[in-house]
Amino acid sequence: MPSLAVIVPPGQVPEGPPWYAWDSVSSWLQTWAPIIFMLIIVIVLWRTLKLMPKTKPAEMKPSSSSSAGWGDVAGADEAKAELQEIVEFLRDPERFRKLGATVPKGVLLHGPPGTGKTLLAKAVAHESGAHFFSQSAASFVEMFAGLGASRIRRLFATARKHEPAIIFIDELDAVGGERGGGQDSEREQTLNQLLVEMDGFNSRGQLVVIAASNLLEKLDPALLRPGRFDRQIFVSPPDVVGRQEILAVHTRGKPIAPGVDLEMVARQTAGLTGADLANICNEAAIFAARSRRDMIVMADFDAALERVVAGMQSRRTLNEHERRVVAYHEAGHALCAELLPRVDRVHKISIVPRGRALGYTLNLPQEDRYLKTREELIDYMTVLLGGRAAEQIVFGAITTGAADDLSRVAQISRSMVHDYAMGTSLSALKVDAEGGQVSDRTRQMRDEEQQHFADEALRSAHRLITEHRDSLEALASTLLRDEVIERGTIESIMAGVPRIARGRAGGGLRVVAVKPAELPV
């Protein structure tokens, strides 16, 4: 059979498969898809970096832009005295240079939160007239390596152009933690850059770094050596005089009634920081405004203190049995506190629920104390366990209401054994239970001694409540009737009941030095 031939006219090309045929699309995708995918990744990364918040070097803040001066700083006289030399150097550097003295490169303010470390740094800048550069160390921590170190360099370069200047780095522990402890490389690079910048100071310059941290023990040792942070200033919670001065600062400009006794408020706020006191003054003004008064009265400060210490008043409604249990529980606390000689007097008792507490007992310290004996700590645990003991004696059962009391007793008894070496065995040895550097036998001995202290306090609470059951009933019945008992009513109920003079265990007085923040409040 003859074959058929297709004759194509000149100038015409035979038609091929359409452009959208699968073979053509597949070939096109294999060629261009990887390139398009890479372009998309580049665009996404570029937009991400563009949209990320950029931390520029801290803006220049002349001291004239802030009104915080020495007059606004109260309750930190020791810290102010140390920082006054920085102020004098920045004001008149030549006077120090003639004697060969140089300004400290760095000052580290450390202490509990709310004690005024940032305010002190602002006051130094204000008093010295130096430019103030403030930056949080947390802002140096970035997802991409190298950005934190770059920001450190830019911050110091900008500050050097505006000498005299002060760089304030808050939350230094965010980047200054000890290296080699599992930190990411970005934090370590940022810390290394900070160390390099502080080493690169010109000794004749007028640039000072002030840093603040709440965790001094976690900072890298390289930061704390002389030549970087030459001075370490502990900013402690204020004493009673300092608290009164802080209250005077925060009530400045507020309409205070003549009957307001700031000294009494200061005595009631042992252990509180400047931030807490500022909050109390503000809450007192809010209470006065809520009551539509033109002046702040003492009742407003009392309500503000309860609001800050005990929490806001709860709307929970207790049934009659629960009210009785809470009343006897709080009466047990108050009775033990009134009977024991080494415990602060009770200022107020309440069975009105506040915060998570169904009731509370406020004690009024007569003075600030910085040392506690073994017997004083046991007396304090006795007061804490007085509520549990009252429940057992009156109702023959125990409830969940003593959870916070038991937790505090465990903390105190553990500190007595492990931190203060107040036990009967190896009493001169401080044991680091967290580090695991002790034997199992020593751990068992310490646990037994800790339990012995708690048991001794509970037995004492049972004895006091059993021997003075009439006073317990009087306190509880008054609470059930009035819900709140003030100091005057407590004194009238306890009139004629002598305080118990307990002998000293062991025949001697053992005193332990503790930090103010560790004292029971």
**Residue 196 contacts residue 214 (beta carbons within 8 Å):** no
Chain mean position to CA 233: 17
Catalytic residue among 171, 188, 330, 338: 330
Question: Is residue 399 scored above 50 in pLDDT?
Answer: yes
Q: Could you state, in order of their start, the residue ranges of all structural domains in the chain?
A: 63-234, 240-309, 320-518
Question: Is residue 454 scored above 90 in pLDDT?
Answer: yes
Instruction: Give pTM, 2 decimals.
Output: 0.70
pLDDT at 352: 86
Instruction: Please state which CATH number belongs to domain 63-234.
Output: 3.40.50.300
Per-residue pLDDT tens digits for 188-238: 788 888 888 887 655 556 788 888 888 888 888 888 887 788 788 898 888
CA distances 398 to 205, 318, 391, 392, 477, Å, are 68, 17, 6, 6, 20
CA angle 130, 198, 146 (to 5 degrees): 110
Active-site residue flag, 483:
no
Cis bond before residue 164 (omega within 30° of 0): yes
Residues of the chain above pLDDT 70, percent: 80
Please tell me the distance from the alpha carbon of residue 110 to that of residue 310, in angstroms, as a whole number: 27
The mean pLDDT of the chain is: 79
CATH of 240-309, one of 3.40.50.300, 1.10.8.60, 3.40.630.10, 1.20.1090.10: 1.10.8.60
Superfamily of domain 320-518: Peptidase M41 (1.20.58.760)
pLDDT at 515: 32
The mean per-residue pLDDT over the stretch 331-337 comes to 94
Q: How confident is the model at residue 329 (pLDDT cuts 50, 70, 90)?
A: very high
Higher per-residue pLDDT: 52 or 121 = 121
Of residues 274, 252, 247, the one with CA closest to residue 263: 247
DSSP per residue, 220-277: -HHHHSTTTS-EEEE-PPP-HHHHHHHHHHHTTTS-B-TT--HHHHHHHTTT--HHHH
Per-residue pLDDT tens digits for 74-100: 888 888 888 888 888 888 888 877 887
Q: Do domains 240-309 and 320-518 have the same CATH topology?
A: no
pLDDT at 448: 87
Please tell me the distance from the alpha carbon of residue 134 to that of residue 292, in angstroms, as a whole number: 40
